[in-house]
């Protein structure tokens, strides 16, 4: 009887001891354990004023904590010493409505499948520049957006079928704001604005309809086309703060370049920027010229966003990819901090997705982890000119939604020796 009581007391103590252990350490074992911990990287998060060595913890796809030292255990630890860690990059201008149709961007082979190109250059979000129109958006969503790991947002083309070739993009009857309204409202998170492009007529109806629609849904207008029939000055005069114009540093006969005869950014362009109009890079295959970009950057006229204009042709031209574009602008005089801010926070604000482009705890864990190599590198423009630069971004790892989606040197893989 006596010994039974002792035994039950001992058993009770064991249970209490176990409970105590669980209480003391259970938080770490069960509650506090992170999925991913990136340690010792140089974090640049312009939105939150961070530019120093810090740790970043990720849980369930969300930024859990950013601090100088995080000691709690994690499922996977990435040693990022010597690397930079920033929010995942946002490419403001892409054509990703890939499909079977020859010669077309919309549902065609001239677009590219985003996952094939994004993660290897740190891009976690692309904005499709009106490749789909209000009529073809549901197909774009089903065929590409829902099938991709890259986050895909979109400007919707005022032309119903989007970029289906010059002939189809001239039909004013198909550029009706009311038709587009319901599709924008149905997909208000994904559709970030309205796009006008590739119209050859001389009247302003498509432009005015696109503006009317953009104002109606309180989203920006994105102007891609060269629209030689309208002067650049008249186009900019129509735009309001927050609207975007792309191919900023283009120098082709179809559109007046932003640099005037005196070598300076034209006053009406400066005035537009001052009014809040946003200038996207829109590099593409023909949209980037050093004779425009070099003086403009020197005069303080940097792009608001680094839209690469990614498509089947631009990726193999001077553009290459987002990291090359960012390195090129460093060669032109911008700092690493500048190019990161343009590729992250500035872009996020422009599309009114302020949960992106920064590392605030609670936001989605999209990260770019890269090194900046030093040496002599060549960067080219659309006119066949080259400059050299001494720094180049090289993507080591990309994290999308808390998951490693690109890992060049196996930083997140288990090490083995043979």
Q: Binding residues for Zn ion, per CB under 5 A?
A: 129, 309
Would the annotation count 149 as a binding residue?
no
Let me know: does 318 contact 380? Beta carbons within 8 Å: yes
Q: For residues 312 and 403, which CB has a smaller minimum distance to Zn ion in the complex?
A: 312
Would the annotation count 353 as a binding residue?
no
Shortest gap between Cβ of 93 and Zn ion (angstroms)?
Answer: 6
Q: For residues 126 and 293, which CB has a smaller minimum distance to Zn ion in the complex?
A: 126
Residue of minimal Cβ distance to Zn ion: 309
Shortest gap between Cβ of 281 and Zn ion (angstroms)?
Answer: 11
370 closest CA partner among 34, 43, 37:
43
Distance CA 284, CA 312 (A): 10
Shortest gap between Cβ of 150 and Zn ion (angstroms)?
Answer: 17
Q: For residues 47 and 126, which CB has a smaller minimum distance to Zn ion in the complex?
A: 126
Q: For residues 121 and 358, which CB has a smaller minimum distance to Zn ion in the complex?
A: 121
- Is the Cα torsion angle 329, 333, 336, 342 positive or negative in sign? negative
Would the annotation count 93 as a binding residue?
yes
Shortest gap between Cβ of 146 and Zn ion (angstroms)?
Answer: 22
Would the annotation count 311 as a binding residue?
no
Q: For residues 214 and 281, which CB has a smaller minimum distance to Zn ion in the complex?
A: 281
Shortest gap between Cβ of 24 and Zn ion (angstroms)?
Answer: 58
Q: For residues 225 and 349, which CB has a smaller minimum distance to Zn ion in the complex?
A: 225
Q: For residues 129 and 156, which CB has a smaller minimum distance to Zn ion in the complex?
A: 129
Would the annotation count 247 as a binding residue?
yes
Q: How far is CA 351 from CA 47, 54, 192, 233, in A?
A: 15, 28, 6, 24
Shortest gap between Cβ of 397 and Zn ion (angstroms)?
Answer: 28
Shortest gap between Cβ of 307 and Zn ion (angstroms)?
Answer: 8
- Binding residues, by number, are 93, 95, 195, 247, 309
- Binding residues for Zn(2+), by number, are 93, 95, 195, 247, 309
């Amino acid at each position: 009887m006596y010994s039974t009581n002792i035994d039950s007391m001992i058993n009770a103590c064991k249970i209490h001891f176990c409970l105590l252990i669980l209480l003391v350490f259970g938080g770490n074992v069960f509650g506090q354990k992170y999925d991913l911990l990136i340690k010792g990287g140089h974090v640049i998060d312009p939105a939150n004023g961070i530019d120093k060595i810090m740790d970043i913890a990720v849980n369930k796809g969300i930024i859990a904590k950013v601090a100088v030292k995080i000691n709690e255990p994690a499922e996977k630890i990435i040693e990022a010493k010597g690397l930079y860690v920033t929010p995942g990059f946002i490419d403001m201008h892409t054509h990703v409505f890939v499909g079977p149709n020859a010669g077309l961007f919309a549902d065609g082979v001239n677009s590219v499948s985003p996952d094939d190109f994004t993660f290897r250059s740190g891009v976690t979000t692309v904005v499709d520049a009106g490749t789909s129109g209000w009529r073809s958006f549901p197909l774009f969503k089903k065929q590409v957006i829902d099938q991709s790991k890259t986050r895909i947002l979109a400007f919707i083309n005022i032309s119903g079928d989007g970029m289906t070739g010059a002939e189809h993009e001239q039909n004013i009857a198909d550029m009706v704001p009311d038709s587009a309204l319901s599709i924008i409202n149905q997909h208000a998170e994904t559709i970030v604005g309205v796009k006008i492009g590739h119209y050859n007529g001389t009247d302003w109806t498509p432009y005015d309809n696109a503006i009317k629609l953009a104002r109606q849904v309180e989203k920006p207008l994105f102007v891609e086309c060269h629209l030689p029939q309208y002067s650049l000055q008249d186009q900019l005069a129509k735009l309001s703060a927050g609207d975007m114009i792309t191919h900023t540093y283009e120098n082709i006969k179809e559109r007046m370049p932003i640099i005037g005869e005196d070598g300076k950014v034209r006053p009406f362009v400066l005035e537009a920027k001052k009014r809040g109009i946003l200038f996207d890079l829109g590099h593409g295959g023909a949209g980037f010229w050093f004779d425009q970009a070099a003086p403009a950057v020197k005069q303080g006229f940097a792009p608001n966003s680094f839209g690469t204009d990614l498509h089947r042709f631009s990726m193999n031209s001077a553009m290459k990819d987002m990291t090359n574009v960012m390195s090129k602008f460093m060669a032109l005089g911008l700092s690493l901090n500048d190019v990161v801010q343009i590729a992250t926070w500035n872009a996020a604000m422009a599309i009114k997705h302020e949960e992106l482009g920064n590392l605030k705890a609670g936001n989605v864990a999209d990260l770019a982890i890269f090194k900046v190599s030093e040496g002599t590198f060549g960067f080219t423009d659309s006119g066949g000119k080259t400059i050299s630069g001494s720094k180049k971004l090289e993507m080591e790892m990309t994290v999308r939604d808390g998951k490693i989606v690109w890992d060049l040197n196996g930083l997140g893989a288990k090490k083995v020796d043979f």
